[in-house]
Amino acid sequence: MIPGGGGGIEFMLGRRARRRRVSTVPDSGLTGPVDIPEPKRDDEPKDLRSRFKRMRESVTGTVRGLPKVAKLTWQASPVLTITIAVITIVSGLTPTITAYVSKLLIDSVVAAIQGKGTTGAIVGVAALEFGVLTLTAVCQALTQISQSLLQERMTLSIRHQVMRHASELHLSYFEGSESYDMLRQAAQEAPSRPLSMMNSALGLVRTTITFSSMIALLVSVSPLLALVALLAPVPAFISQSKYGSRAFWLTVMMSPLKRRMDYLSTLVTTDTYAKETKLFGLGPYFVERFRQLGAVSYERQRKLTRNRSISSTSWGLLSTFVGSAIALYIALEAVGGRLTLGDLALYTAAATSVQTSVSGLFTAFSGMYENNLYLDTLYRFLATEPEIVAPPKPQRLPSTVEGHIVFDGVSFSYPGADEPALDNVSFEIKPGETVAVVGKNGAGKSTLFKLLCRLYDPTGGRILLDGVDIREFDPDELRERMSAMFQDYVTYQGTAAENIGLGDLNHLEDRELIEDSARRAGASDRIERLPSGYDSPLGRWFDQGVSLSGGEWQKIALARAFIRNAPILLLDEPTSALDAQAEHDLFARLRELAAGRTTLYISHRFSTVRQAEKILLLELGKLAESGTHDELMAQGGEYAKLFTLQAAAYLEEAK
């Protein structure tokens, strides 16, 4: 067993990190052997004392988890939570009442046989029994209905919380595989756990009620019997909780493997990848890798399930043996005339019930313990603080931002990277200027844009907007003043109008503005030719939509960037997929499109770069050259070299 609560989990994750290093699972899952380490713990308690210590720790950890679970359940539905709680108390009493009514019935039958009772009394007790049984049935039905409804509400409520929190987290959170695993577990495992834990907790209450009322009856016939019945289920509990923690462990360990399986499955089942997987004949290979990873995952689950059931069945048999011995003892007492037939029925029911209650108590507790471990992942995820947040007293952005940008000695390294992506970069962009950023692949151009949007914070230096460090603004407000088209723009599975409107939620359904943005991006002709124009679905996930070409999609992404009337416009290779005419048209209109805005664009085509008012050339994260086209050509540096190289290639072709 392992301690519940945060400390235990951190400890386990520490171990997990160590295990991952020795893991034989290759990072991508595409090649290499497939295996995952056994979810065994070196520090598993060996002797009884450490076992009890562990048990005490897990009891405290689990009990501490209860208020949080109660809060989650209450948040999902107060009415259903109260209903379930009330039914639990009622159904805790029904077994004892049933047992007592059975005794009354048998005694009244025996009395009638002996001529001491009446048929009327028997009918009365039978009616009472009918009433109790009806109450039991109603309670069961109500429990089932409330539980399934509460589960539905709970799943929605937790998924909603996970989505909301994920939407607030910083970009780099999604780029780490460990945090991604945590997110996956929180989203997939956690929704079913609180109700399960709540049920276990309420089961605990129910069985405690049954147990207390029954034990009173059992003690009156034989305190020794009561003690034996109490102790018999303990071993089963210990084995249950041990396997409970292993099951959790296995889920944690298998999360990376399951993600790889999901990835392989996506490669084969998603339209975006289908072309290439078919051409390179990768389908059967990916399917086989999926099968291998699946086989490993199944084998681990099978082993655990097998060991768990063998162990719990064996310990369960011990309890059955004790139960039978008690029944025999009571039967002999009845034969000896020391008990009535009604007493015999009552005590047999009581003994069985105490036994079931005790094992029920233990099972409920070990269930809670296991669920609490899973929930801890959810709590840790929900407790992850977004790294990029507004300062306590953010500076208000003026309603009209001028767009004066200064990079002052800005450096940035991606987490875990050896080399900085940007190294002491300084430059100034005047309001309304159009600036081109150029440089070789990996020079740091896109990183510069991401820092400007505050998707990351610089590791050194500062970025000023209209003279204020951008960290002093609320990041949401800052981003409202910017519009951007990234290199890996999103192709939304929605209509053409929605694809554009999503660039500005305030104008999501403003058809006039959407059409105007499409015109400015050169996308309107194609959209108008679609079967339902702007209402045509693009992509095929939800509707039988139209498939657009790469360049057509890029124009739609451009239109999305244009719809937002922001003072700063960032375009990362905006014409990489456009044909020569479309590219020419766009840049010919760029001055008009960029009027009144500070515009930065990244481009590898020097013909489009030359018209910028300022050009920044990055080399290995450093600002190597800056100036106008004429200035840089006159300098005869790297820019001049690259420009001449490209121009020469065109001239060569033209010959």
Ligand X SMILES: Nc1ncnc2c1ncn2[C@@H]1O[C@H](COP(=O)(O)OP(=O)(O)OP(=O)(O)O)[C@@H](O)[C@H]1O
Q: Is 203 in the site for ligand X (CB under 6 A)?
A: no
Closer by beta carbon to ligand X, 62 or else 447: 447
- Closest Cα to residue 415, out of 175, 230, 194? 175
Closest approach of Cβ 567 to ligand X, in Å? 23
Closest approach of Cβ 453 to ligand X, in Å? 13
Q: Are 290 and 265 in contact (CB under 8 A)?
A: yes
Among 16, 445, 471, 481, the residue binding ligand X under the rule CB under 6 A is: 445
Instruction: Determine the 3-state secondary structure of 468 from DSSP.
Output: strand
Closer by beta carbon to ligand X, 194 or else 439: 439
Q: Is 378 in the site for ligand X (CB under 6 A)?
A: no
E-state strands within 339-481: 405-412, 422-429, 434-439, 460-465, 468-469
Region of 211 on the Ramachandran plot (φ > 0 left; ψ -120 to 50 alpha; else beta): alpha
- Contact segment (CB under 6 A) with ligand X among 186-194, 437-445, 501-509, 640-648 equals 437-445
Instruction: Determine the 3-state secondary structure of 532 from DSSP.
Output: coil
* CA atoms of 211 and 355, how far apart (whole Å): 9
- Contact segment (CB under 6 A) with ligand X among 330-338, 362-370, 400-408, 440-448 equals 440-448
Closest approach of Cβ 571 to ligand X, in Å? 13
Closest approach of Cβ 421 to ligand X, in Å? 4
Closer by beta carbon to ligand X, 101 or else 443: 443
* CA atoms of 356 and 316, how far apart (whole Å): 11
Locate 460 and state its tokens. 């050194």
Q: Is 447 in the site for ligand X (CB under 6 A)?
A: yes
Q: Is 263 in the site for ligand X (CB under 6 A)?
A: no
Q: Is 603 in the site for ligand X (CB under 6 A)?
A: no
* CA atoms of 565 and 655, how far apart (whole Å): 44
Question: Which residues, in sequence order, are CB contacts of 492 under 8 Å at separation 6+?
Answer: 498, 499, 502, 538, 539
| Site mask for ligand X (CB under 6 A), range 466-495, x = bound | ---------------------x--------
- Closest Cα to residue 645, out of 606, 619, 609? 606
Closer by beta carbon to ligand X, 441 or else 581: 441
* CA atoms of 556 and 609, how far apart (whole Å): 22
Identify residue 136 by its one-letter amino acid code.
Answer: T
Closest approach of Cβ 451 to ligand X, in Å? 10
Q: Is 262 in the site for ligand X (CB under 6 A)?
A: no
- Contacts of ligand X in 383-422 (CB under 6 A): 414, 417, 421
Residue 506 is given by DSSP the state: G
Which alpha helices (DSSP H) does 419-549 contain, by range? 445-452, 475-480, 496-501, 511-521, 524-528
Distance between alpha carbon 208 and the CA centroid of its chain, in Å? Answer: 35
β partners of residue 512 = none
Q: Is 554 in the site for ligand X (CB under 6 A)?
A: no
Closest approach of Cβ 183 to ligand X, in Å? 17
Closest approach of Cβ 570 to ligand X, in Å? 12
Q: Is 446 in the site for ligand X (CB under 6 A)?
A: yes
Closer by beta carbon to ligand X, 18 or else 641: 641
Closest approach of Cβ 417 to ligand X, in Å? 5
* CA atoms of 492 and 229, how far apart (whole Å): 63
Q: Are 628 and 615 in contact (CB under 8 A)?
A: yes
Closest approach of Cβ 175 to ligand X, in Å? 5
Q: Is 443 in the site for ligand X (CB under 6 A)?
A: yes
How many residues interact with ligand X (rule CB under 6 A)?
A: 13
Closest approach of Cβ 572 to ligand X, in Å? 7
Q: Is 439 in the site for ligand X (CB under 6 A)?
A: yes
| Site mask for ligand X (CB under 6 A), range 137-176, x = bound | --------------------------------------x-
Closer by beta carbon to ligand X, 369 or else 449: 449
Closer by beta carbon to ligand X, 487 or else 644: 487
Closer by beta carbon to ligand X, 515 or else 583: 583
Q: Are 107 and 342 in contact (CB under 8 A)?
A: yes
- Contacts of ligand X in 172-191 (CB under 6 A): 175
Beta strands 434-439 and 468-469, pairing class: unpaired
Closest approach of Cβ 444 to ligand X, in Å? 4
| Site mask for ligand X (CB under 6 A), range 4-43, x = bound | ----------------------------------------
Closest approach of Cβ 487 to ligand X, in Å? 6
Distance between alpha carbon 574 and the CA centroid of its chain, in Å? Answer: 33
- Burial track 51-77 (b if 16+ CB lie within 10 A, e otherwise): beebbebbbebbbebbebbbebbebbb
Closer by beta carbon to ligand X, 82 or else 171: 171
Closest approach of Cβ 356 to ligand X, in Å? 56
* CA atoms of 411 and 345, how far apart (whole Å): 82
Locate 164 and state its tokens. 């909301």
Closer by beta carbon to ligand X, 57 or else 619: 619
Q: Are 361 and 201 in contact (CB under 8 A)?
A: no
Locate 376 and state its tokens. 């801890």
Instruction: Return residues touching ligand X (CB under 6 A).
Output: 175, 414, 417, 421, 439, 441-447, 487
